[in-house]
Structure 1
Amino acid sequence: MVSTVGGAFGFTSGTIVQEFGYDDDVDPALREAAETLTGTELVDEDYEDVADSAIVWWRADDGDVDDLTDLLVDAQANLDGDGLIWVLTPKARTTGAVPTSEIEEAVRTAGMHATSAASMGEHWSGIRVSSRRR
C-alpha cells in the first residue's frame, strides 16, 4: 500500500474533481493536495456539469454496500469518459472504518474495477476505482 498525502491521486492540472460525502471529518490536507495537483477547487455533489474524476468519502455509518453502489453509479454518471474515482474510508480499526471487501463488492456491483489501494494521510485509506465502460 502506498503512503501519501494526495500524491497517489494521479490527478493532473486542469482536472475537475467532484467530491461526494463531504463532512466535518474529512482530511483538509488531502482536499488541499487534490486542489494543488489540479489547480482547481473541488466541486460538490450538486455540480451540474461533467467532472473528470471523483473523490468519495465513505464511512461505516454512511450506509450499506447497496448505498455505496448507488453512490458509485451516480459518481460515474457525472464523469467525462473513463475518469477515476477514489473511495476514501477511515483506516482499519478506527471509528467509521469500512471493510475493504464491502468496498470491492460495491465497486463490482456498480460495474467498475478496484485498481489499487493507498494510505491517504494519517486517518484515511483510499481505493482507486476505474470504470469498465464499453
Structure 2
Amino acid sequence: MSATAGHAEERTNLVNRLGFQPGQVVQELGYDDDSDQDLRESIEELTGTELADEDYDDVPDAVVLWFREDDGDLTDALVDATSLVDDGAPIILLTPKTGRDGYVEPSDINEAAQTAGLAQTSSFNAGKDWTGSRLVTPKSARPAKR
C-alpha cells in the first residue's frame, strides 16, 4: 500500500469513527485557508454530500467547527453551533495542535464545552496541524409514557 493510500484510509477510518454516515448533512463553521482539506474531503466522500456552509438554513445532522484562539469566544461559538443541530447531534470541534498558531488550551475547550452544555466524548488527531474533540448535545429528557 502506498503512503498516499494509507493516509487516505486513515482519514476514512477517522471520519467513520466520528460517526458520520452516508447521506448526512454536515455544516461547517469557521472554515479558513488553514483548514485541513484532506479531512474536509474525507467527510464529503463518506457522506456523499458537500459540507454545508455557514449560510445553510436547515437543521444539519452534525457540525464541524474550526476554531482558533483569536476567533473570539469559544463558548459563544459552541452555543451557536449547538443551536443549529438537534439534541444528541455531534459537534466536531477542530483546533490547532500545540505549538501551532491559534492553539487553544484543552482546559479552555473543556470549560467552554461544559458552559455550552456539551459533553466531550472523545479527542483525536485530526491531521498534521489539527486536534479534534467530539462534543455532543445532551438528549432532551423525554416525558415518561403513561
Do they fold alike, i.e. is TM over 0.5?
yes
Matches of residues 110-125 of structure 1 in structure 2 within 5 Å? 110-125=116-131
Give the alignment partner of residue 129 of structure 1, picking from 123, 127, 135: 135
Matches of residues 21-36 of structure 1 in structure 2 within 5 Å? 21-36=30-45
Matches of residues 48-63 of structure 1 in structure 2 within 5 Å? 48-63=57-72
d(CA) in 2 for partners of 1:80, 1:126: 21
Higher RCO (Cα < 8 Å, 6 or more apart): 1
d(CA) in 1 for partners of 2:51, 2:124: 20
CA apart distance, 1:80: 3.0
2:75 paired residue number: 69
- Confirm or deny that 1:43 pairs with 2:52: yes
Q: Which has the higher strand share?
A: 1
Larger mean CA deviation between 99-108 and 4-13 belongs to 4-13
Give the alignment partner of residue 85 of structure 1, picking from 64, 81, 91: 91
Count of residues in correspondence between the two structures: 128
Structure 2: gaps of 5 or more residues: 1-9, 141-146
Give the alignment partner of residue 29 of structure 2, picking from 20, 30, 45: 20
CA apart distance, 1:105: 0.7
Structure 1 runs, 4 residues or longer, greater than 4 Å off: none
TM-score normalised over the length of structure 2 = 0.83
Superposition CA RMSD, Å: 1.2
Aligned partner of 1:112: which letter? L
d(CA) in 2 for partners of 1:86, 1:123: 15
Structure 1: gaps of 5 or more residues: none
Identity %: 49
Looking at CA atoms only, which structure, 1 or 2, has the larger radius of gyration?
A: 2
Deviations 1:32-69 (A, max 9, x none): 01101111000011111110000000011112xxx211
